[in-house]
Chain A
Amino acid sequence: MILKKIIPILLIIVAAVFSCSNDDTAPQSSNITFSFSHSWDGTPITNSDFNTIKFTNANGEDLSITKLRYIVSKIIFTKSTGEDFIFEGYHLIDLTNTTSLDFSVFEALPYGKYTNVSFIFGLNNEDNYNNNYQDLNSASWNVPDLLGGGYHYMQLEGKFIDNTSTETGYAYHAIRAVDNSGASLSFEDTFFEVNLGEANITDNAKFNIEMNVAEWFKNPNTWDLNMLNNMLMPNFNAQILMFQNGQNVFSLKSIAQ
């Protein structure tokens, strides 16, 4: 008698509890986290390595890092069926803010094989312009309207020993390449897609991605800080060199799951 009354109530409670998941089999999807680490040709870099001249670039210049911030966006997981799962957002990584190194990409991505995982270094033009991102504005991440507006892709700053043995600042700021010498601005795209290759997603997948900072100075262009250390934002050619050197800075170290 009593049971008869309680069972319907129990059933309702059970239904309420489970109504959020619309699969009645075992979980079929994983949360996805991206976690960024940094190295100088394999030697790990964290913010505790900042402010000391301890790195040597391909051109032989000794240098320090005092700031490293960059933005990644539009993360795409492509299923073997051709279906794309897209994270439309962006994320600003700042090495002095360790909580910014990891971020959640998806709450629930279906298990299985993905033929490619990619993200954009910087922001593509659609995302870069005609958007007003309050968090990025608050972080003083803008590019002046004089250079077409939008946002920085990266700010890498520090000191190097120049060819007069003087400690000199450098500000390696990556933006969309713009030539402002003529009557109107002319652009060339310098954001780029980073392909991490294929992935088999099971549970709690965490992508450990590394930026090799030394690459920005190395390949294919040996960067000469004596020539190119500051005022690089309006320097069209410097932006193209950064774009070329950026192609191999990121690599997937592991997928922990």
Chain B
Amino acid sequence: MNYYSLHTLLFIMFICFSCTNEPVEQYAPTPSALKIPKLFSENIIAPVIPSNNPQTVEGVRLGKKLFFDPILSGNNTQACASCHSPKNAFTDTSRFSNGIDGRLGLRNAMPLFNLAWNYNERFFWDGKSFSLEHQAFIPVTDPLEMKSTWADVTEKLQQHPEYPTLFQEAFGTSQIDSTLVTKAMAQFERTLISANSKFDQYLLGETELSGEELNGFNVFMDETKGDCFHCHGSDKNPLWTDNAFHNNGLDETFTDLGLGAVTGDPADNGKFKSPSLRNVEFTAPYMHDGRFTTLEEVINHYSEGLKNSSTIDPLMKKVSQGGVGLSEKDKADLKAFLLTLSDFEFINNPDFLNN
């Protein structure tokens, strides 16, 4: 090699390396890819994981501890898990949840699973929070929920015997702030994946459905009967929700404007996010205000209880008669089908329990 080409080589190498100016040795937590279920990878697009908050073993572990720890609340009595309990697919059983003062919230708590597949990342019943990281900021300071302040929470965590080390392991710094707290919680929440219901097993050819369950699925998919699939997923969309906002005919006038209060557009009044029907057996009561206590009531609503309003979804049909009027058999079968969406493995998964 002669002098000039050596020069050129050195110059090229200089260009190539000139962009990294960080020291080579940097702490990196252990990457931990989400375990994507077969039915999801086959049928729907990849989950949303922000590039500035990759999933790591240490981050998920920390997020889980925080999720179950009442330290996040003003008087150390309430954890996220108080309203989002694993055995109820991470929601609770009351119509409105008690905050730390025993004051009631205004909406029914939401179940938490498959959140990384909410592609447009709009969370809450009205979509007011964009991204899981942002969502986790809210309950901590909500006066009807954990009623704390971030200054107080980070101070308590910083003084805690274990947390500074756990943050060090998860993020390479023991300096705790609200951003890191919410990042860790979002990582844990993304691991809450539910994909092993009887219906999933049926789709994978591992089990059979009864005649009633199959007929119930047909009612769900039949545009002249249930017509639920346009909003609540299908055998090809195993999320069992479109994660979009609709008015499904609950009221003629609205006390809670839902999406309309967020967008300011009256055409959005009374619209709420379609909940997933997965695990619906564990998530009663139903609707944004928990008005229905049983699936029978929900089915009766769609069958004959629809209320007209200017924003009711066009898919709600025969509204003047209250709905399409399902036969008693179709109603019972529809319920039997909905119960095949229960994932018992999910609600008993030790990775998701406080241990």
Chain A residues packing against B (C-beta within 8 Å): 2, 5-6, 9, 50-52, 66-67, 132, 134-135, 137-138, 140, 142, 144-146, 157-159, 164, 166-171, 173, 230-234
Contacts and interface: CB of A to CB of B under 8 A. Distances in A.
A138 B48 CA distance: 13
Contact of B236 (A66, A137, A164): A137
Contacts of A146: 218, 221-222
B317 A230 contact: yes
B237 A137 contact: yes
Given A134-B44, A138-B44, A231 B224 contact: yes
A146 B214 CA distance: 12
Contacts of B314: 66-67, 157-159, 169-171, 230
Chain A to chain B: the 6 pairs with minimum beta-carbon distance, closest first:
A169-B314, A51-B267, A144-B221, A157-B314, A5-B4, A137-B236
A52 B311 CA distance: 10
A234 B223 contact: yes
Nearest to B249: A169
Given A144-B221, A169-B313, A169-B314, 11 more contacts: A5-B2, A9-B8, A66-B314, A67-B314, A134-B44, A157-B314, A159-B310, A164-B320, A169-B319, A231-B224, A231-B227
Main SS class of interface, A: mixed
Contacts of B45: 134-135, 138
A159 B315 CA distance: 10
B250 to A, nearest CB: 15
Contact of A5 (B5, B233, B313): B5
Interface residues of B, number: 38
Contacts of B224: 231, 234
Given A137-B237, A142-B234, A167 B223 contact: no
A146 B225 CA distance: 12
Nearest to A166: B320
Contacts of A138: 44-45, 119, 237
Contacts of B312: 169
B128 interface: no
B289 interface: no
Given A137-B44, A140-B229, A146-B222, A157 B235 contact: no
Given A66-B314, A134-B45, A157-B315, A140 B233 contact: yes
B100 interface: no
B223 A233 contact: yes
A142 B317 contact: no
Please indicate which of the listed interface residues B231, B236, B237 has the most CB atoms of chain A within 10 Å of its own CB: B236
B302 to A, nearest CB: 14
A146 B2 CA distance: 75
A137 B313 contact: no
Contacts of A158: 314
B235 A145 contact: yes
B267 to A, nearest CB: 4
B218 A142 contact: no
B222 A2 contact: no
